[in-house]
Each structure stands twice: as C-alpha cells, then as structure tokens.
C-alpha cells in the first residue's frame, strides 16, 4: 500500500506520515524498487493508533510512549493509566484556563454596546485592567 492509500486508510495525511518517520515515531517504511514507501496492514494499524491517540490530544512524545506500552505485553495497566490520568489533568488545566479567559472576555463583550460610537469597555478593560480577574492573575 503506498503512502496515499495509507493516508486515506489511517486518517493520517501523507505529509504527516513522512514527518512521523523523520522524527522516529514510526520506523522507516519498506520501499518498492522505485523508491515508493510500502505500508503493511500492521503499519496501517499503527498509524490508526497514532491518529486516535493524537485526536485525544496526547502529545507526540506521549504517543511514542503509548506505542511502546501497546507493544509491551508484560507492562502493567497502571503504567498506561498513569499516563492517561496525567493527560486528563493537563486537559483539565487547559479547560479551566480557557474558561477564565472566556468569562473575563465575555464580561467585557456584554458591556460593550457595539455600535458606531468609539467608547468601548473592551478596549478600556484591556488597557485599564482594573476589573480584570482570573485571566489576568493566571498569566
């Protein structure tokens, strides 16, 4: 299976597959006589695994760890769980950071009449900052 078909079947773009090979996330693919990459079913499964892990937000380095854990049949499930739990916590931190940004911003937005006049509580809020809250402190 060439890289285009592998991309379609795994959901990982061809360019990204080459990139993953270049950084060593996946081993170098076999080549046909003419130099085209040739992917086996197992390699497609690996790409799909990577695609799913990435879509869950795991950084590429963690995906590498997950691939190792996947192939290590003697590893404890607690190892995987620790990695996943850490990631959930990272997501939670990100979410609450975004929430505080959103709250502050929405507060300013609702105070702005948004018409032709130049007076604007949003700009004033960013410039003055007196009523800035979580997002301000969090930075």
- Contact call for residue 2 and DNA (CB under 7 A): yes
Site size toward DNA (CB under 7 A) is 23
Work out which of 8, 22, 75, 131 binds a second copy, going by CB under 8 A. 75
Please state, in angstroms and rounded to a whole number, the distance separating the CA atoms of residues 69 and 51.
Answer: 16
HEC sequence for 29-53: CEECCCCCEECCHHHHHHHHHHHHH
118 binds, among a second copy, DNA, none (CB under 5 to 8 A by kind): a second copy
Pull the structure tokens for residue 95. 């979410």
- Contact call for residue 100 and DNA (CB under 7 A): no
Work out which of 16, 107, 112, 124 binds DNA, going by CB under 7 A. 16
- Contact call for residue 49 and DNA (CB under 7 A): no
Residue 99 half-sphere exposure toward CB, CA atoms < 13 A: 6
Strands 37-38 and 30-31: antiparallel
Q: Could you tell me the smallest distance in angstroms from the CB atom of residue 42 to a second copy?
A: 12
- Contact call for residue 129 and a second copy (CB under 8 A): yes
- What are the backbone angles phi and psi of residue 31, rounded to the nearest 5°? -120, 150
Q: Which residues bind DNA (CB under 7 A)?
A: 2-5, 7, 13-16, 18-19, 23, 29, 32-37, 54, 59-61
């Amino acid at each position: 299976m060439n890289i285009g078909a592998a991309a379609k079947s795994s959901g990982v773009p061809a360019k990204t597959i080459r990139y993953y090979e270049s950084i060593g996330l996946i081993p170098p693919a076999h080549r046909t006589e003419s130099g085209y990459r040739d992917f086996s079913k197992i390699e497609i499964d690996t790409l799909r695994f990577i695609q799913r892990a990435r879509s869950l937000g795991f950084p590429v380095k963690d995906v590498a760890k997950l691939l190792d854990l996947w192939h290590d049949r003697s590893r404890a499930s607690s190892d995987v769980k620790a990695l996943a739990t850490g990631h959930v916590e990272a997501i939670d931190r990100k979410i609450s950071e975004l929430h505080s940004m959103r709250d502050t911003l929405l507060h300013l937005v609702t105070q702005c009449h948004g018409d032709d006049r130049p007076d604007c509580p949003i700009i004033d809020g960013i410039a003055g900052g007196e009523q800035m809250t979580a997002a301000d402190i969090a930075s």
